[in-house]
Amino acid sequence: MATPLSASTLLKALRDEGLRVVEHRSWRTHNRNHKGPWGPVHGVMIHHTVTSGTQNSVDICYNGHAGLPGPLCHGVIAKDGSVHLVGHGRANHAGLGDDDVLRAVIDERALPGDNEANTDGNRHFYGFECVNLGNGKDPWPAAQLEAIEKAAAAICRAHGWSHRSVIGHKEWQPGKIDPRGFTMDAMRSRVRQRLGGGPDGPATPPPPRPPAAHEPFPGAAFFTAGRRSPVITAMGRRLVAEGCGRYEVGPGPEWTEADRTSYAAWQRKLGYSGSDADGVPGKTSWDRLKVPNV
């Protein structure tokens, strides 16, 4: 039995293992704890996303979709080996699985076959979604496999678990096939070898980026109902970062009432009021928002 790691402890454990970690939006408080308990935790579960592209996959895992609200995991492992944290707490990733498998994980012994779906896995497992189409053809780059190994080992090391606390979704829930493209026995062997030594230490930070260029003001007429553009998505993300996001889902590429309401909150934050805070961007407020180029 183990108490879940705090957000700060989880972040430190991953970085100490030598991983490049990206903190996505409000991941530290993004969870499904209102739907059930989080913990005690017993292991780490590995999945594939059935998506392509890092940002697309991270957004889906953070937001969820119509049939399953986010977060859909705790971290997304990209093909370049970066780990993007999207949740902390109960997450919709494991679903119902086999109680015999859970007992084997707790006892750290060989896994039995999964033939039942009678136990809440979202309560008991950390989850990592790995960017891969899961079709058996999409490659698994060496950097990504190493990051899976390091992420699993980091959590096992923090809790004092062995490699037998690492399982695949396909080993937990009948009918699942993820992760597809490598065997979990091979991954557990990698984790076992890594746990035999010390952590790599924090990853070397990437070189500083040059000052970001910003989107020029496209004009007030650009912001009309039904307009679709990546600029609108980028704007929404900046509004969320400024604490002005009023989105239930998103932001997305289509200009909606949620965008207008969020921009009005930004205008009020700048000191505007009345008709000057109507949610339609103007050049002065836009330039101060500093929407990055897309």
pLDDT in tens, 47-104: 999 999 999 999 999 999 988 999 999 999 999 999 999 999 999 999 999 999 999 9
Q: Is the pLDDT of residue 293 over 60?
A: yes
The domain ranges of the chain are: 7-195, 220-289
Structure confidence at residue 207 (pLDDT): 64
Question: What pLDDT is stored for residue 197 in this prediction?
Answer: 86
Q: Give the pair of three-digit tokens for residue 211.
A: 């000052």
pTM of the model: 0.71
> What is the model's pLDDT at position 203?
77
pLDDT given at position 125 = 98
Q: Locate tokens 């490659």: which residue?
A: 139
Q: Identity (one letter) of the amino acid at 229?
A: S
Give the residue-averaged pLDDT of 105-129: 97
Q: What is the pLDDT of residue 212?
A: 61
Res 159 pLDDT > 90: yes
pLDDT at 210 over 80: no
Phi-psi region of 190 (alpha: psi -120 to 50; beta: other; left: phi over 0): alpha
Residue 166 scores a pLDDT above 70:
yes
- Pick from 129, 158, 157, 140: which is nearest to 61 by CA? 129
* pLDDT, mean of residues 260-270: 95
pLDDT of 153 > 60? The answer is yes
Give burial (CB, 10 Å; 0-12/13-18/19+) of 13: buried
φ/ψ of residue 120, rounded to 5: -70, 110
Predicted confidence (pLDDT) at residue 115 exceeds the cutoff of 90:
yes
Options 3.40.80.10, 3.30.460.80, 3.40.1710.10, 3.40.190.10; which CATH number does 7-195 get?
A: 3.40.80.10
- Is residue 207 reached through a cis peptide bond, with omega within 30 degrees of 0 on the bond before it? no
pLDDT score at 199: 86
Percent of the chain residues past pLDDT 70, beyond the cut: 97
pLDDT at 205: 65
Residue 149: the pLDDT is: 98
* Residue ranges of E strands in the chain: 21-23, 43-48, 64-65, 68-69, 75-77, 83-85, 96-97, 119-120, 125-130, 166-168
User: What mean pLDDT value characterizes the chain?
Assistant: 94
Q: What angle do CA 12, 63, 22 make, to 5 degrees?
A: 25
Contact 75, 147 (CB under 8 A): no
